Structure 1
Amino acid sequence: MTLKIPLENSSFNLDVSGIAGFFGGEESFAAMSSVHLVRGRRWLGWYNSPGSYYVAKKYGVLAKSRVWDGLYPGVNVDPTTMLELDGKVGPRYVAAHSGTRMEKTGHLAYLLASHYSDLEVDQVIPGPSAKSEAHITIASLEEFKEFEGYPKLPADHLSPFDPIATVPIAFSVGASVMCAIFGDWYCFAMIILGVVCNGVSCFVIGSGVLKIKQPNPSPHSPPGDGVLFNAPGSRVILLKGSEKIISSITRGRFFLEYKSQSQYHDIGYSSVALTMQFLLQLFIVPQGQLFGQIMFLSSLGVSWIFNAYLASVDREDLQKRILMRVLLQKPTFRTVALPKWTSLVVFAAVYLQAKPEGTRGLLEQLIPNDTAVWRLVKSAVVEAVERNKDPSEVVAERNLDHLDNQERGLLEDMMKQASIGYNAGNDFKL
């Protein structure tokens, strides 16, 4: 008994081939971009995904040769940067002991600053006003220890396998089986082609090994203690630890290692396969029956929903988890609120206990003001740290006849804040 094809006598033709290569392209690209952060994700791309042409154009620029550049023109970029595992600019960094000054740091510092930016305040240092305007997060970093498989990041710290990934696979296979049962071999072939092309592409892109690259400072380097900050008045992150661990934050990065680098021919071939998938679907899907076209479109719809689900995953959050658990091994930290920026800067200088030149450099970076009053404030703080004495007492020992009344008033206000920061820095225990 031969089964009758549903909707066989309908005169309506559902021409979906024209949208197959474009619809859902951004979601498909975003979904594939998480392939290195989710366990088993590279093996779970076997479904008929929409947006094949868009994905091919995005990944095609990774391959490097005259042929690939002709097929997929554009600036050749690194896979790590394209997949947003590197490339973000971190905040400024000022070291308290080594004299290091960095106007911008790297991707790991960006992740760390983002992780600490919205933490709740653990301690409030009271001041003249009820409102605390400056916040500093103090993080104590353990000495770096090589983890198993170093420098390859261990898979057990990636996002766990998500069983929802089996839904689009099952639906695409089911849709192709339904097309075969009713003899629509055109739509059957195009669904299977989409499954194979997307699966191979996901496997190829996911074949890169996620590793961490770190500088290797001298074992005799001074401690790397210092502060990360974007601008005066912003949230400050005070880091205490060895030069090795802190330089890993400021100058280290994630990177993907492919067997095919630096030409990435395998990525180029998979991009060609996705392009051919789009072209074949453009011509062949209209030859199928209406029922088969509905099955084809349904498989794209389910896959698009799954890709949108994957695209909603916060990839930065997954990277932060890897950074905090693997590289930094769950550091101890506390966030302190201080009345003003001046009290915060003095708190940091006192807590770091740098040599006079280090304290001076820290103050110059955090308080760039260059007036008579501010020069006096900064020199008093440097001397106070050196002598272990309250900055207000240091200023009281100096001749202030060269200051007018307005400057004396400003100096008095600043020294009140300096005293608050000095006492808080001396008393603080992490």
Structure 2
Amino acid sequence: MPPVTIDTDNFSLDVGGFAGFFGGEEAVSAMETVHLYRARRWTGWFNSPGSYSVGKHYGRLANSRFWNGMFPGPNIEPTTYIGLDGKSGPMYVASQSGTFLKQTGHLAYLLMQRCKDQRAVIVEGRKTRANKVTILDMPDIKFDSDTENSLTIHARDGFHKHIALIPIATSVVTCVLCAWGDDWYCFSLILLGILVNGISCFVIGSASIVLQSGASSKNAPPGDGMLMDGNHVIVVRGKEKDVLAITQGKFHLEYQPWVRRRVRKERRTRSIIGDGIRDFHHLFGKKDAESGPGPETETQDLDDDAEANDEYAAIGFCSLLLVIQFLTQLLLIPQGKLFGQIMFLTSFAVSWAYNLFLSSMDGEYLQEVQLAQALNLSDDRMKTYKLGTRTAAAVFACLTLQPDCEHKDWGNRGFKPQEILRQFIPNDTHVWAVWREQVLEQMRSSKQVLQSLDLEACGNRIAAFNDVDKNLLNDLLSDARTAYQQYLVLQVRSSLIGSVSSSVKKEAW
């Protein structure tokens, strides 16, 4: 059998065909983390695969007539497009201000997901369908001094910047080895990939994340309320301005002026393609009744209330560079030597592994951590309780929302406990009506003895009840007692913590 030989002078891997497509999804997903980690935008100097996919994906952010023709598709705001906005949050019901939001935004969604993952305190009692109630005491949010309702989010520090040295070093070493092997085609292509990916990461990641909250009045009542998502409820307590940061706030990518240019959207007039007469009139400035106003008149008649449009030409330019990189690699890689092509593939493989590492990270979890750190939502301010029934959860949430005043002043505060209970259980049968009355009677009482939550306390209102209704009411009152007992424990614990903190302050003085 004759020996098998490989002519390395004429052999070519021809990797240009997949150079721009291989690892495209991983590269796009990795680019979405560029705002979530500190110094992430400075660590993109490596020959990354998937340049065509990344260029086509982020080219839609340019949002201008020129770039829309090159990268067609819907023009979505960068914050939503990258995944920092767009999620629908749970329903919000205020307990005093009367605010009702059927759907909140992205930040409320992140908060709900974080509370769902929190370890809960198990409340003993009857069990049917478990419900979780998280009590969140909002801190006093310190917004940026130059703005009233904005807060700059600082990116999270991580070990990714150390791991990024691996693909960066690999790309640089393979580039140098190609030059040492006198393969200037592969040398230039690896160098081109390093520069284009590094510039793209720097430009796309140059924005800072800003939390934009809703405007609130200084004389507004407390923003206490509930975020309700199925079997999980978050009781939010705090000032209106602090609660608005959750219920109406959102993330926003704030780009520098050299990346973002704000222009006014022009109202474009429709015309027929190929209408030479109109073009002829505009060319020579002829005006008559049929030709209509000239360009100067149209410019002057722009709507003063036209909507502003943000153009990101720098991102469009980076996307164009990524597409050019793909085309260049497609054409010139076959011209390189076998050694240079192997070096090119090596840089691609290591960069793809790093992109895979970045894309495997949970972006929503990183956003949850950033939100909690920015608003100082520590575990001490968030306590989750798991109650065995929805009835107990309704009473417990209602008790934690009652204002610190006499029940006679509830109306002046706008507090309606019966409406809070109905948000949980809208049933209007006689049994549920009696149960609600007994719960409200106990809440109005200043005594800690739970006399109103006994079946005997219902009196003549249950005289017409059969045994089934009485047993049901007894179970519901038992759930209310469970919730009330847990609330009393919570009050005692809060008073102890308050007394300890006050004594510590006195000792410090």
Is the shorter-chain TM-score for this pair beyond 0.5, marking a shared fold?
Answer: yes
Q: Which position in structure 1 is the counterpart of 2:370?
A: 322
1:385 to 430, 443, 447: 443
Alpha-carbon distance change, 41 to 282 in structure 1, aligned in 2, over 3 angstroms: same
Superposition pairs for residues 238-249 of structure 1, below 5 Å?
238-249=235-246
For the residue of structure 2 that corresponds to 1:30, the secondary structure is helix
CA deviation after TM superposition for structure 1 residue 339, in Å: 2.6
Q: Which position in structure 2 is the counterpart of 1:125?
A: 123
CA contact (8 A) 2:15 2:341 kept: yes
Superposition pairs for residues 32-47 of structure 1, below 5 Å?
32-47=31-46
Q: Which position in structure 2 is the counterpart of 1:346?
A: 395
Residues 92-118 of structure 1 show CA distances to partners (whole Å, capped at 9, x for unaligned) of 222211122222211111111111112
Does structure 1 residue 28 correspond to structure 2 residue 12?
no
CA deviation after TM superposition for structure 1 residue 361, in Å: 2.1
CA contact (8 A) 2:123 2:385 kept: yes
Q: Which position in structure 1 is the counterpart of 2:486?
A: 424
CA deviation after TM superposition for structure 1 residue 404, in Å: 4.2
Q: Provide the rounded CA distance (Å) in 2 between the counterparts of 1:198 and 1:126.
A: 57
For the residue of structure 2 that corresponds to 1:36, the secondary structure is coil
Instruction: Between 382-391 and 50-59, report the one with greater CA deviation.
Output: 382-391
Q: Provide the rounded CA distance (Å) in 1 between the counterparts of 2:393 and 2:237.
A: 16
TM-score, length basis structure 2: 0.77
Instruction: Between 113-122 and 144-153, report the one with greater CA deviation.
Output: 144-153
Does structure 1 residue 90 correspond to structure 2 residue 89?
yes
Residues 21-80 of structure 1 show CA distances to partners (whole Å, capped at 9, x for unaligned) of 111111111111111111111111111100011111110111112222221111111111
1:399 to 442, 450, 461: 461
Q: Which position in structure 1 is the counterpart of 2:226?
A: 227
Q: Provide the rounded CA distance (Å) in 2 between the counterparts of 1:238 and 1:426.
A: 17
CA contact (8 A) 1:18 1:282 kept: yes
Instruction: Between 21-30 and 315-324, report the one with greater CA deviation.
Output: 315-324
For the residue of structure 2 that corresponds to 1:178, the secondary structure is helix
Superposition pairs for residues 155-194 of structure 1, below 5 Å?
155=154, 157-159=156-158, 162-194=161-193
Q: Which position in structure 1 is the counterpart of 2:205?
A: 206
CA deviation after TM superposition for structure 1 residue 365, in Å: 1.2
Instruction: Between 302-311 and 391-400, report the one with greater CA deviation.
Output: 391-400
Q: Provide the rounded CA distance (Å) in 1 between the counterparts of 2:441 and 2:67.
A: 63
CA contact (8 A) 2:37 2:156 kept: no
Residues 202-236 of structure 1 show CA distances to partners (whole Å, capped at 9, x for unaligned) of 111011121110112112222212222212xx122
Superposition pairs for residues 41-80 of structure 1, below 5 Å?
41-80=40-79
Alpha-carbon distance change, 328 to 26 in structure 1, aligned in 2, over 3 angstroms: same
For the residue of structure 2 that corresponds to 1:218, the secondary structure is coil
1:280 to 316, 319, 328: 328
CA contact (8 A) 2:137 2:236 kept: yes
Q: Provide the rounded CA distance (Å) in 1 between the counterparts of 2:52 and 2:146.
A: 37
Name the aligned partner's letter for residue 136 of structure 2: A
Residues 234-280 of structure 1 show CA distances to partners (whole Å, capped at 9, x for unaligned) of 12222221111111111111110122151111111111111111111
CA contact (8 A) 2:88 2:105 kept: yes
Q: Provide the rounded CA distance (Å) in 2 between the counterparts of 1:318 and 1:83.
A: 14
For the residue of structure 1 that corresponds to 2:53, the secondary structure is helix
CA deviation after TM superposition for structure 1 residue 128, in Å: 4.3
Q: Which position in structure 2 is the counterpart of 1:415?
A: 477
Unaligned runs of 5+ in 1: 1-6
Alpha-carbon distance change, 404 to 339 in structure 1, aligned in 2, over 3 angstroms: same
CA contact (8 A) 1:42 1:202 kept: yes
Q: Provide the rounded CA distance (Å) in 1 between the counterparts of 2:468 and 2:223.
A: 39
CA contact (8 A) 1:39 1:160 kept: no
CA deviation after TM superposition for structure 1 residue 420, in Å: 1.9
For the residue of structure 2 that corresponds to 1:399, the secondary structure is helix
For the residue of structure 1 that corresponds to 2:170, the secondary structure is helix
TM-score, length basis structure 1: 0.91
Instruction: Between 148-157 and 68-77, report the one with greater CA deviation.
Output: 148-157
Alpha-carbon distance change, 413 to 152 in structure 1, aligned in 2, over 3 angstroms: closer
Aligned length: 420
Alpha-carbon distance change, 120 to 329 in structure 1, aligned in 2, over 3 angstroms: closer
CA deviation after TM superposition for structure 1 residue 287, in Å: 0.9
Q: Which position in structure 1 is the counterpart of 2:249?
A: 252
For the residue of structure 2 that corresponds to 1:229, the secondary structure is strand
CA contact (8 A) 1:214 1:251 kept: yes
Alpha-carbon distance change, 121 to 319 in structure 1, aligned in 2, over 3 angstroms: same
Provide the aligned C-alpha RMSD in A: 2.3
Instruction: Between 269-278 and 333-342, report the one with greater CA deviation.
Output: 333-342
Q: Which position in structure 1 is the counterpart of 2:357?
A: 309
Q: Provide the rounded CA distance (Å) in 1 between the counterparts of 2:159 and 2:15.
A: 35
CA contact (8 A) 1:157 1:325 kept: no
